[in-house]
Structure 1
Amino acid sequence: MKTLIIAEHNQHALKAATLVTLGAAQQLGQPIDLLIAGHEISELSQDAATIAGIDRVLTWDHAMLAIPFSETLAPVIANLRSQYSHILLASSSFGKDLAPRIAALCGVNALSDVIEIISPNQYKRPIYAGNAIATVKNSASCQILTIRTSAFSAPTHEPTASLAQVHALSVELPHSPVRFVKQTLSESSRPELNSAEIIVSGGRAVGSEVNFSVIYDLADKLGAAVGASRAAVDAGYIANDLQVGQTGQVVAPSLYLAVGISGAIQHLAGMKDSKVIVAINNDPEAPIFSVADYGLVADLFDAVPAMTARL
């Protein structure tokens, strides 16, 4: 049998999460197809065909797929299930929305946040906010998996001499009750949170949206992405798409700076796999220090500007 990966992209390039999902799919030891659904994606599909490890690129090009909805994609993907033993998606907001819909239409269970592939039907995934790891055996004929990208690595992206076959799907657009209204994109020169090598995150102790400037200043000096705890997001200090944690984004950068973050279990679940963790907090008993490689007990409004000035 074969593995199908559902691509995430911006109509011009594949997102890093898709390449990491490819790295996970290669561990299954099966031929791999990549499905790209979008609008005017011929150049993107040709680029994808040069990626080593992909046997075939399936394309579904339609004007209505410029903003793809899971309600539209799921029926088409489910109709392909007889060709595949595994369907993989990244554990992103896109993947977590689409995977259960595909699984429901296929009459199987979706398995989320896979962090290790033991065999083609046995996996490891975190439970209880990452405090325990469950080993799960899946006997479904078509297995729907979302891959936690912080637990896998993308294969080396070197073009291959033998191009993958590009095959255009000829399917009608399913009727969907969902209607696109508008999309608001935030522009930033900083790296994306889920792929950044360095992340500076602020918590409730930052105190306000205005005070978050100390976090931005340090991040800019380090060339880092900016993140936040749920408490800071809920307080309105920063946009919710920058939340790190169990109910936000799960990250594993080379360096994670937690500033004014106490370290609730839900936040730790989203960043404890970071290579090096640095915590700044004025409470020496803060739980964040239990996972930190380096800790500084200090007022963030003294420590962070001093660090920024020295860089």
Structure 2
Amino acid sequence: MIRFEGVEKSFGAARALDGLDLVVPEGAFAVLLGGSGAGKSTALRLVNRLIEPDAGRVLLRGRDVAAEAAPALRRRIGYVIQGIGLFPHWSVARNIGAVPRLLGWDDRRIAARVEELLALLRLDPAEYRDRMPAELSGGQAQRVGVARALAADPDILLMDEPFGALDAVTRQALQAELRHLHAATGKTILMVSHDVEEALALATRIAVMAEGRLLQEGSPRELLDSPADPRVRDLMDGGALGMRRLSLVPAASLARPDGAAPEGLPRIPAGATARDALEAMLAARADAALLEDATGVPAGVVALADLLRA
């Protein structure tokens, strides 16, 4: 879906990208991971031509992005930033419908799309469509920002540190929503992050960058188990390698039929990881957690002993 071929970019004397070669497969949730100055955001902004490369090419579906007018290109690509950037004097519905309106959709089609996206992102349309951005919490506003990026049904969603300004609880909730959204839509997502935990929680592919270069690209499991560079090993380990491996294990794979589950067990949602289960047990001082299905019905028990074996 996205290909970087020998991409170079400098800002004055500072080299931001130094021969970046990277492929993002269609339908992947790819995360550009690294510290400050790694070149992550520069690479992301080349995709929708917010900046231009000094050398090399960026291709979408095999076509050089430079071959298309930048405004038309951007209308085909969803873009979510940390600052959200909602128009403050427009309602939620009008914000979400901004790009479809530019594309000439009629009012009925726009209204239907707004309803669909609010429901997908678990914001009641009747309650939120007419609200103003100032009436939203940070997490709600970020959801609306994601909905706006998806409004014209783009193939690609670009996300630049979208949850960096949110508190930990809200960030985890939105990460869960984003996993749900990716599973529901199958869209190709390319996201910038400096947070290893976030990358492991979301990505199907991770590209670790440093000083404008790609150090290693692969699945989360490949990077945890077989780091190809000492900097990748240090980043992925962080003194918590066992816990990070648990974040790749679905809690459902360890769950047993609930039978006569004791009362008062902490509950974990469908899609939770083994790490989520362990954290819930620690918080509740319990030796097991109750796994729910997508409707909130108990689906099994995850035991601490099974987590330790995992």
TM-score, normalised with respect to structure 2: 0.29
Identify, as 1 or 2, the structure richer in helix.
Answer: 2
TM-score, normalised with respect to structure 1: 0.29
